[in-house]
Amino acid sequence: MSNKIEFDYSSFLVNSSKQKWTFSQALKSIIPTFGTVWNASVHDERPLSERLQAEALQVLSSHINDESNIIRLIRLARIEGITDLEIKLPYTLDEEQINYILENTFTDISQSTDDFDLLHVHLNEKTQ
């Protein structure tokens, strides 16, 4: 069963620069799974894409590199049961960046640059 979500990383970068962090958000940034477990303890009926966006705003940081943020996003998606992510990027990732993401996740990745830079991520069933 496929479960595809689109995530606009460019918008995240803009929105995250405006956000002031609370102590719990800083903790969630340091320990990403803490935030997901914390949020999962409260029954959340928002659509999956909205939940992922909200969690990403709490866990991802504009102060770390994009590859690390994408790895965190993939881990959040895996916890949420998402099988496919399409991530809209502000630029095309180079081969070294893609390889770093692949080394730290169990995914298949491809890119397209039709109208904008898009990273296609398929989360394989095996977890890391």
Contact criterion met (CB below 8 Å) for 36 and 55: yes
Position 67, amino acid: E
Confidence (pTM): 0.78
Sheet with 117-123, strands from edge to edge, namely 4-8, 84-89, 117-123, 107-112
Q: How far apart are CA 92 and CA 99, in angstroms?
A: 13
Say which residue the tokens 């477990």 belong to: 37
Digit-by-digit pLDDT tens for the chain (128 residues) are: 568 999 999 888 877 655 555 555 555 555 655 455 555 545 567 888 888 988 888 888 888 899 999 999 999 999 888 999 999 999 999 999 999 999 999 999 999 987 789 999 999 876 44
Contact criterion met (CB below 8 Å) for 8 and 52: no
